Amino acid sequence: MSPLELKIELLKAGISIRQLARKEGVSHTAMFYTIHGVNKGLRLREAVARAIGRSVEEIWPPRSKTI
């Protein structure tokens, strides 16, 4: 999913990025980086996925390794 799609899904779920960041005890910037794929930490990715009712793999599919 793109960052914009994630933001829309969060808004549909009734939670802002700032609210989710506060709930998880991290900065707004850390959550922003997670949504934009810069921060690849599993804990925050799981928090985003839970908030919108999706799996981490559905939001950030593993990249296939090609030779």
pLDDT tens figures, 13-66: 999 999 999 999 999 999 999 999 898 889 999 999 999 999 999 998 887 555
pTM: 0.85
Q: Which range of residues forms the domain containing residue 25?
A: 3-59
Nearest CA among 57, 53, 27, 30 for reference residue 41: 30
pLDDT for position 61? 87
The CA distance from 67 to 64, in Å, is 10
Helix (H, G, I), strand (E, B) or coil at 19: helix
Residue 40 lies in a domain: yes
Residue 66 lies in a domain: no
CATH code (residue 35): 1.10.260.40
Residue 64 lies in a domain: no
Tokens, residue 55? 């799996």
Residue 65 lies in a domain: no
Residue 33 lies in a domain: yes
Q: What is the number of domains present in the chain?
A: 1
